[in-house]
Amino acid sequence: MAPFDCRSISYRYILTKAANLTASGPWEGSTVIHRESMSGSDRRGWRSIVALLCVILWWGCGEAPPEPLNDGDTLARVGDDQVTVADYHGYLGRLPEEARNEVQKERLLQAIVDEKLILAECRRLGLDQSPEFRELVQNQTKRLSLAELYRREGIVRGQPTEAELAQMFAASPYSKRVRFSLLMVKDADKLPPLMAQLQAGADFEELSMEHSQDHRILMRHADMGYHRWGETMPSHEALTQKAFTMEPGQLAGPLAVADGHFLLKVTDVHPVSLEQERETINRAWRQRHLARQLAVYCDTLMARFEVTFEADGLAVLHTILSADDGQAPDRAALRQIVVHLTEGELSVEACLRLLGQSQVAPGALDDLRRLLENRLSREVLMLQEIGRLDLVNSAEVKSGLVEARRKAMLDLIRRRIESEVAPPSLSLVQLHFDANQEDYREVGQVTLRRLTIADREAGERVIAQIESGVDTAAIYGSFVQVTYPIPSGEGELARALRADPGPVRGPFAEENGFVVLQILQQRASRIPDFAEVQEAVTRDLLAQERSEVFDRYVAQLRVDNADTIEIHADRVQRLGDV
């Protein structure tokens, strides 16, 4: 039964009953009850009513509502450590906003308790004293101190205006997508005759399918699809960068990239709207804005520390960096001074350490000086400013280091546990693929010829000329052959892309204009051969096994430390909806 509510109809009923008895008794009409005027039965009736009313009040109102939780209230204990309401809300605040409405209070608290157990185990194992931990914390200390220095100097990322975004977007490679096809061989000597065939009019796709030695190219029938700037994996980004300098129909090669030698043909260049790349351009603008502020601040530091360069020492440094004979420079050259500043000087040897792996092309002496100024400002002068201002001991940096140490320990323990998981055997990878084939299913593809046009009327004129059969060779020469994933939408263009091979159709509206197209081939969705996706399946299985091992490790920590864990379930329920 639910607790009685003093404000309920039952409570009003008792008061009404008492009033009725009052009105019908000898004290009717009186505002004061005189005990002497009551008969024995009247007094007994009144006492009964009062007693009943007291019982009801005690039953319904005797339990006061629970006090609201304070930030310092403890939700759980893990050994000598505790999880407070403030801790809970701190962890909740780190979650993405969309996830906060879905999280369950009990599960979030269990995750916090698990983390406390892991951190305690890290300390027991001495990971917080390891060289790896000290290096991670040292790097974070530097990062946090630099961020605080920037804040105090008024160096901020800023926010661009719409006009600034549009201007930067128009001048950037992000304003277009480029589609290209590839041909790859292991032996560079095979490419010149193939290039000659292409220049004589041979079909690029046919040559690629006959000669390419890369299964990814063969699987895609040479067509690598549309690429946006910066989205290609680093090992092959030189191909995309080259494609962005070319026009449709142009050929390039041989290009020595990663594991082979390539020929490249650009098949289409498609404009991209600002809205599609708004986040990327916004980020790029803010980075450039920050870089400009840092350049001004670096100039200020260079003047404050009275930095000057020795021309002879700079030339020696440049010579050493430009040498490719593999010989170590002599000691006299290494001792030569390159930089003077108020608190000392830097020799050639010190500058080599400062530059690290940086390489400077022969003849780029000014580039070397600018690079050295940049590194000197960031790695020497700014650190001296941090020391002068004692930023390492500032409240902001200390607060950030608490979180940095927590993340460093969690990262170390996870890496240690996951490193113990051996790569899966080929047979296990095959079994995983057999059991999860649908996860690797390729979408269906449609191969077509397309022509991008400015408006619907121009498209209708193209269709009419093709249907007339007059001078169609020149029009078809303007079409570009591409391959798309078969779309699932119900728009006009999506339905056209699902159609059977046939005549030229259109025009169809798309994001940046209109298109006329001709379907050439439809390839149904398929599950690839194991050899085609073996690498991806191996990565997936290894990641799954590592995750399972870590989960078992955490579960065992709970069992081993069960007697040290105390959770206040009643307080957890009172946290309210999150």
Average pLDDT, the chain: 83
Domain closes at, from 230, 253, 278: 278
The number of folded domains in the chain is 3
Q: Which of 219-233, 338-352, 542-556 has the lowest mean pLDDT?
A: 219-233
pLDDT for the residue 110 = 93
Q: Does residue 415 lie in a domain region?
A: no
pLDDT tier, 400 (very low <50, low <70, confident <90, very high otherwise): very high
pLDDT tier, 14 (very low <50, low <70, confident <90, very high otherwise): very low
| 40-64 average pLDDT score | 51
Q: What is the 3-state secondary structure (H, E, C) of 227-256?
A: ECCCCCCHHHHHHHHHHCCCCCCCEEEEEE
Residue 206 is part of a domain; what is its CATH number?
Answer: 3.10.50.40
91-127 pLDDT, tens digit per residue, is: 888 888 778 878 888 999 999 999 999 999 999 999 9
Question: For the chain, give me the number of helices (H) and strands (E)?
Answer: 24, 14
Q: Does residue 274 lie in a domain region?
A: yes
pLDDT tier, 17 (very low <50, low <70, confident <90, very high otherwise): very low
pLDDT tier, 515 (very low <50, low <70, confident <90, very high otherwise): confident
Q: Does residue 79 lie in a domain region?
A: no
| 3-8 average pLDDT score | 43
Q: Does residue 574 lie in a domain region?
A: no
Q: Does residue 408 lie in a domain region?
A: no
Place of tokens 């494609």: 243
Residue 449, beta-bridge partner list: 481, 518
Own/partner pairs for 410-415, CB < 8 Å, 24+ apart? 410/115, 410/118, 410/119, 410/122, 411/136, 412/122, 412/127, 412/130, 412/132, 412/133, 412/136, 413/118, 413/121, 413/122, 413/125, 413/127, 414/550
Residue 51 confidence (pLDDT) above 60: no
Q: Does residue 45 lie in a domain region?
A: yes
Cα angle at 328 between 322 and 329, to 5 degrees?
Answer: 70
Which residues, including other chains, have CB under 8 Å from residue 348's CB and lie 6 or more apart?
Answer: 313, 316, 317, 320, 329, 333, 334, 335, 336, 337, 338
Q: Which domain covers residue 502, as residue numbers? A: 443-523
pLDDT for the residue 483 = 79
Start-to-end CA span in the chain (Å): 28
Cα angle at 464 between 462 and 470, to 5 degrees?
Answer: 90
| 301-325 average pLDDT score | 87
Q: Does residue 214 lie in a domain region?
A: yes
| 495-506 average pLDDT score | 88
Cα distance between residue 56 and residue 424, in whole Å: 70
Q: Does residue 67 lie in a domain region?
A: no
> How is residue 380 written in tokens?
């020497």
Domain closes at, from 278, 306, 335: 278
pLDDT, greater one: 298 or 24: 298
Q: Give alpha helix (H) positions in 362-497.
A: 365-376, 382-389, 395-419, 426-435, 456-468, 472-478, 492-497
pLDDT for the residue 435 = 94
Domain closes at, from 61, 85, 105: 61
